[in-house]
Amino acid sequence: METPYTQLRVYLVENSAILLNLLMEMLQHMRGVSIVGHAASATTAISEISALVPDVVIIDIALQSGNGFDVLKTLGPAGKRPVRIVLSNYASPPYRDVARRLGVDYFFDKGSEIHQMFKLVGSMVMTAGR
């Protein structure tokens, strides 16, 4: 008898349409990942994340309005769902420190660490399916 496969529900907060399309395409090709929504502004992201209750939120710091830190502030205490992943060009130590204080679980530089982010999401699917 086959075990049912658990879908990892992912929400994307990204202001670049090009990168959003890339993230969506890559994540949709990963077995066990379901993209439940996306936003380019903090206000929309906050509202939709609250309503959709995803397992994982992938957040950029620079947004069309507001910023990723605004989103992180609303996600509740660290260690609670959703898993918070920052994927940003703003990856210097001060940005990483603020994100860590706001409860981010993982922080990746868009320019050099995006493949590690995809590997992490893949490992989350493997863990969720057990």
Tally of structural domains, the chain = 1
We report the CATH number of the domain holding residue 20 as 3.40.50.2300
Query: Looking at the domain assignment, is residue 69 inside a domain?
Result: yes
Q: Does some domain include residue 1?
A: no
Please give the residue that has the higher pLDDT: either 46 or 4: 46
Residue 79 lies in a domain: yes
Which tokens in the block code for residue 10? 């992912």
26 pLDDT above the threshold of 90? yes
Alpha carbon 126 to chain centroid, angstroms: 17
Any idea which residue has 């990963």 for tokens? Answer: 30
pLDDT of residue 4 exceeding 90: no
Domain-embedded: residue 124: yes
Does residue 2 form part of some domain? no
pLDDT at 130: 45
Contact (Cβ atoms closer than 8 angstroms) between residue 107 and residue 79: no
Which domain does 32 fall in, by range? 8-128
Q: Please report the DSSP string for 78-121 in residue order.
A: TTSSSEEEEEES--SHHHHHHHHHTT-SEEEETTT-HHHHHHHH
For tokens 């868009």, the residue is: 110
**pLDDT of res. 6:** 72
The answer to whether residues 87 and 121 touch, using CB atoms and an 8 Å cutoff, is: no
Q: Does pTM surpass 0.95?
A: no
Confirm whether 3 is domain-assigned: no
Nearest to 71 by CA among 89, 50, 52: 50
Query: What's residue 2's pLDDT?
Result: 44
- Mean pLDDT over 31-46 rounds to 96
Contacts of 28 (CB under 8 A, 6+ apart): 35
pLDDT for position 59: 98
Say if 24 falls within a structural domain. Answer: yes
Lowest mean pLDDT segment, chosen from 9-13, 80-84, 114-118:
80-84
